[in-house]
Amino acid sequence: MVQGKYGLPRGAAALGPGALAGGLLVFHRALPDLPGRPAGLLETFLPWLGLTVPALLGWALLRRSAPAAYAAALPAAAWLWLFGGFLLPGPDGPDGPDGAPDTAGIVAVQHNVSDENPDPGGTARALAATGADLIALEELTPAALPAYAAALAPQYPYHAAVGTVGLWSRHPLADARPVDIRPAGLGEDWNRGLRATARTPGGEAAVYVAHLPSLRLGAHGFGSARRDESAVLLGRALAAEPLPRVILLGDLNGTVDDRGLAPVTTRTTRPGRDFAFSWPAALPVARIDQVLTRSATVVRVRTLPATGSDHLPVAADIRF
């Protein structure tokens, strides 16, 4: 065996980074909440820790070292345990057990359309072409709202909007009302929460549309205080929801692994196979646009082609 410095086998130093990456993947929830929230930043980009595997393998080939190759196995096993199922083919859609369309299933589309979108009408037509049952939009400006409404109205006659969020539906909507998710210190014109009852062929569902505050990454770390405060308020609304069946559509400005969204994710069910990175549209690295449910199952989630937004639309097949 070829030895390096201090009598260790060549490449043995790779065992440290391999063990660290594997440990962070498996035990990220055990990391403390330090100032600047580095744990939240790590959880936002957790799948990308898998890049340590090809890096360690490259080191192993360069050094011709078996220990370095073994080191790559540690994060590889952890990554496959957490995310390997996402690589498997999922169901084609919300079909019944006999393969026929399931009348109890619906398709929902979630999209932050961007308040700087140069073509709101074209974006709306692209979303309508998906044939989804529900379309939730965020960053609706007063100037652009008429264009979205006009393009979606022929296929989506039921509509509710509050502030900068809106919901369009093929099925009747009732009890539409604002949901207060406004963090302290923001003006009363900050309205980013909506709740409505959708009367779908599979039964009634409470549909929430939410846009949580943006994150700020700066010299002081991962700035998520307002986002986290808004998540607590949204979680309380979900907990108080009397209908058993809930669909949450929104730009939550965080991934389902981010502990800051725990007030929401602990009250909903995450999709089973769900890389579907949605932001930024030019080179997606994270999915911060979410479709979460209660007493329903998201059987497939996927991103759609880019629009004039800096986010990609996300479509989800939901089975009741």
DSSP letter for each residue of 257-291: T-GGGHHHHTTSB--SS-----BSTTS--B--EEE
Residue 1: predicted pLDDT: 45
Q: Which domains occur in the chain, in start order? A: 5-87 (no CATH), 105-319 (3.60.10.10)
Give residue-wise pLDDT tens across range 272-309.
667 899 999 999 999 999 999 999 999 999 999 999 99
pLDDT > 90? residue 114: yes
Mean pLDDT value of segment 258-282:
91
Residue 8: predicted pLDDT: 45
Tell me which residue has tokens 């730009």. 251
Residue 311: predicted pLDDT: 98
Mean pLDDT value of segment 59-71:
77
Mean pLDDT value of segment 96-101:
46
Mean pLDDT value of segment 145-163:
97
**Averaged confidence pLDDT in the chain:** 88
pLDDT > 60? residue 178: yes
Cα(188)–Cα(55) distance, integer angstroms: 49
Strand locations in 101-245, DSSP E? 105-112, 134-138, 158-162, 165-169, 173-178, 193-200, 203-211, 216-218, 221-223
**What's the pTM?**
0.86
Tell me the β-bridge partners of 61: none
